[in-house]
A and B are shown apart, each in its own frame.
Chain A
């Protein structure tokens, strides 16, 4: 996504990336970044929480319109209002994604190797 932002910016359209991984967006050199410490799938906040969503969107607009230099990053000071253990579990897919399944299968010892 930071690279997609760069390609669009390079075509002359200003961009801001609202992301839960602002350090990665910085490494990938996105022009403007808003960091949120939210679970994946929740860039603008909690479902149904208009106040939280509005704070994020307004900050994104301010950074988009007001950042003076390349690489500007502003993190929003909102703590996710769900205990970490629950939030960590809740965002993950109900079934492992195909690539995770493939990686896990590659790590699993084969029967022949496991037998004496």
Chain B
């Protein structure tokens, strides 16, 4: 089956996404070979649902977005892999997050990944997973200049062999 990429998108939003083509400067293929067996590899997760740790981390800055609608908070959060669902909060003005708050696994399946580790399907999970808020200004300048290098440094520290990214 071929997924309809616009099934749940309001028709008036479609031109914002469809046929926009390449991101400037991002034309060439990029490829890092996955060299290990999955059963010996360490896997990290990244969600763009605006997840953060309730009462221990600052929320993503939604107030600034309210006053400057073209702007989105480019910062990121590190989420401990063993954090309980009750300690997870989310901040994202572009979707209803009721389902994520009732079951954060639909955006960041940390418990499910650790089950696959326990079953031997995956070697290990990183001790922390990564979180961003996916609504960004069109240039992605904040992500490009600061967030992406910081995420890469964190993934190296965590010794991740591969990353699963899930846009919200």
Contacts and interface: CB of A to CB of B under 8 A. Distances in A.
B31 A91 contact: no
Interface string A52-96: 011001101110111101110001110000001001101111110
Contacts of A9: 30-32
Most chain B CB within a 10 A radius of its CB, from A5, A31, A45, A98: A98
A47 B166 contact: no
A42 B26 contact: no
A4 B74 CA distance: 12
- Name the interface size band of chain B: 35 or more
Contacts of B65: 98
A39 B7 CA distance: 8
Given A53-B112, A58-B116, A61-B121, A75 B1 contact: yes
Contacts of B161: 13-14
A18 B165 contact: yes
Contacts of B70: 99
B22 A28 contact: yes
B106 A53 contact: yes
12 contacts: A13-B163, A20-B5, A27-B20, A37-B1, A38-B8, A41-B49, A42-B99, A44-B109, A47-B99, A61-B122, A61-B164, A75-B2
